[in-house]
Amino acid sequence: MNHLLSWIIWLPILGMVSIAFVPRDKSEVIKKIAAVFSGLQLLLAIYLWRIFDASNGTFQFMERAEWIPSFNITYILGVDGLSLPMVFLMALIGFIGVFVSWNIDKAVKGYFSLFLLLNTGVMGVFLSLDFFLFYIFWEVMLLPMYFLIGIWGGPQREYAAIKFFLYTLFGSVLMLIAILALYFTCGNTFDMLVLIDTAPTALNGMLWWGMSAIKVIWVLLFIGFAIKVPVFPFHTWLPLAHVEAPTAISVILAGVLLKLGVYGILRVNYNMLPDGVFWFAGALAVLGLINVIWGAMCALAQTDLKKLVAYSSVNHMGYTLIGMAAVIAASEMNGENLISAQAGLGGAVFQMFNHGTISAMLFILVGVIYDRAHHRDIEGFGGLASQMPIYTAFVAIAFFAGLGLPGFSGFISEAMIFIGAFPIFKTVVIISTLGILLNAAYFLWAFQRMFFGPANEKYNDIPEINKRELFTVIPLAVITLVLGVYPRPFLDLIAATLNVLIESVVSYGGLAAAM
C-alpha cells in the first residue's frame, strides 16, 4: 500500500463523513460505522507494525507532497521506532474507545463524529514530519476535546472543558513562536528532517536579550509540551478534565493524549536542540521526581476513584521524565555510559506505552462501576469482591499493573528507568523509589476499601461486568501481561531509533559547556 500513513490518519475522517450521511436517530448504525473505521485503522496499524523494519533507525514509509510552496510548507509523513508504538496505541485505544462509548445516548452522531476527528488529530501529530502540519494536527485536537468534555461530561463539565482548552492553547501558542523562530533561524523550513540536521548548530551562540536562543526555544517548546504531559506545576487541568470527561474520553486522554507531550519533547526538543537537553536534564529529572511524589501524595488523598486514577497518571508520567533525563549519561563528561542512556530512554518510551494501556484499563474499569452505582466514592463501596468477582479480578490486574508489580509491563519500564537514571541522578532515583511505595499504598488501600470488608447491602444485586466491557479490557490486560514477561519485541522495535536519538543528542554534548 502506497500511502499507508495517510490512510491511517484520514480513515477516521472518512468515517466522520460517512456518519454525516446517516440520519441522527439511527444511533446503532452510527456506532457501527465508527467501530468499522477505527477497526480498519487498527488493522492498518498492525500491518504497519508487521512490515516496519525495526533494525532501521530512520524514518520509514515517508510521504511527501507539495502544499504551500510559497511558505515552504510541505505535507510530510513518516514513522520511526518512536512514533510507531504511539500509532499502534492510538489505533488500539481509538478502537476500544468506540466500544467504551457504546452506552452514550445523548447526541450520538455528534459524539462519534468528534471522537473520530480527535483520532485523526492525534494520529496526525504522531506521523507528521512537517512542523506546520504538526501544529495544525496538534490544535485540531482541542475543539473536539472541548466539546466531548463540555457536552458529554459530568456536572462541572463547562469549567473543566474551558480550563483544558485555555491551558493547552496557552502551551501551543508558545510552541508556535518557537516553531516560527526555528523556521527563520534555521534556513526557512518547516521540514523536521532538515531541522533535525540544521537546528543543533544553526542556533549556536545566538543570543536573545542576553539569553541563549537555544535555551529560550527549549523552554518555550517545553512549556507547550509539558502542559500536555502534564508536568508539575502545569498539571492542574488534568484531574478536573479527567473526572468530568465521559469514560471513553478519559481513556483517550490518559491513554494517548498525555503521550503527545512526551513524544513532542523527544521528537522536537531532543532531536533539534540537543544542547538544551544537557542544560535541562537535571531540571527534567527533578520535575519528574516532583510529579512522582506529588502525584502519589494527591492520589493517596482522594476519595473519588477516578480522581485517584487521574493523579496516578501524574505520578506515572513522572517516571517517564526521569528516564528521559538519563539520556545524558551517554555523553563524554558523564562517562559514556551508553547502556544507562539506552535503559533510561528505552524505559521512558516503554513506560509511555505501558501507561497508555494500564491507565486506559483503569479508566474503563472506573467507568464500569460508575455506570452501575452512579458514583465513584471509594468509601461508598465495600466487599465488592463477593458481589462482582470477575470485575474484581480485572481491577486487581489493573491495580497491580499500575503499582508496578513484577510480571506486569509497568514494572519492567520503571525498573529500566531507575537503572538508567541511577548513575547520574542518584538522589532523584532514591527519593522516587519512595514514590513506588506510595504508589502501592494508594492502589492497595483503595482496593482494600472497595473490594474487601463487609459488603455494602445496597450493591447486592449489582450486575457483573458484561461482555462488551470485558471485550474492551481484555486486550489491554493481555498486552500488559505479555509485555510484562516478554518485553523483548517492544524493546527491539524502539532500540534502533533510540540509538540514533541518543547518538545525535550526545554528539552535541561537548557544545553544552560552551553555552
Q: Which residues contact other proteins (rule: CB under 8 A)?
A: 68-71, 106-107, 135-136, 139-140, 142-143, 146-147, 150-151, 157-158, 161-162, 165-166, 169-170, 173-174, 176-177, 180-181, 183-184, 208-209
Distance of closest approach, residue 260 Cβ to other proteins, in angstroms: 16
Using DSSP, state whether 207 is helix, strand or coil: strand
Phi first, then psi, for residue 301 (nearest 5°) are: -85, -5
Distance of closest approach, residue 269 Cβ to other proteins, in angstroms: 19
Using CA atoms in the order 180, 182, 185, 186, what is the torsion angle rounded to 10 degrees?
A: -130
Cell of 357: 494501556
Distance of closest approach, residue 202 Cβ to other proteins, in angstroms: 15
Closer to other proteins by CB, 49 or 67: give it: 67
Phi first, then psi, for residue 144 (nearest 5°) are: -55, -40
CB 118 within 8 A of CB 252: yes
Q: What are the C-alpha distances in Å from 275 to residues 185, 202, 218, 223, 333?
A: 16, 12, 9, 17, 14
CB 33 within 8 A of CB 86: no
Closer to other proteins by CB, 12 or 150: give it: 150
CB 258 within 8 A of CB 229: yes
Distance of closest approach, residue 250 Cβ to other proteins, in angstroms: 18
Instruction: Please state, in angstroms and rounded to a whole number, the distance separating the CA atoms of residues 456 and 428.
Output: 42
Distance of closest approach, residue 150 Cβ to other proteins, in angstroms: 5
Closer to other proteins by CB, 107 or 481: give it: 107
Closer to other proteins by CB, 88 or 134: give it: 134
DSSP one-letter string for 36-83: HHHHHHHHHHHHHHHH--TT--S-EEEEEEEEEGGGTEEEEEEE-TTH
Closer to other proteins by CB, 161 or 429: give it: 161
Phi first, then psi, for residue 194 (nearest 5°) are: -70, -40
Instruction: Please state, in angstroms and rounded to a whole number, the distance separating the CA atoms of residues 22 and 111.
Output: 13
Closer to other proteins by CB, 107 or 474: give it: 107
Cross-strand pairs, 74? 66
Closer to other proteins by CB, 142 or 415: give it: 142
Using CA of residue 245, residue 251, residue 257, residue 258, what is the dihedral sign? positive
CA atoms within 13 A on the CB side of 74: 18
Contacts of 301 (CB under 8 A, 6+ apart): none
Closer to other proteins by CB, 176 or 300: give it: 176
Distance of closest approach, residue 207 Cβ to other proteins, in angstroms: 8
Instruction: Please state, in angstroms and rounded to a whole number, the distance separating the CA atoms of residues 231 and 217.
Output: 18
Distance of closest approach, residue 209 Cβ to other proteins, in angstroms: 7
What totals of helices (H) and strands (E) does the chain contain, helices first? 22, 4
Q: Can the peptide bond before residue 487 be classed as cis, meaning omega within 30 degrees of 0?
A: no
Cross-strand pairs, 191? 130
Closer to other proteins by CB, 162 or 396: give it: 162
Closer to other proteins by CB, 68 or 301: give it: 68
Distance of closest approach, residue 220 Cβ to other proteins, in angstroms: 9
CB 33 within 8 A of CB 18: yes
Closer to other proteins by CB, 147 or 447: give it: 147
Distance of closest approach, residue 181 Cβ to other proteins, in angstroms: 6
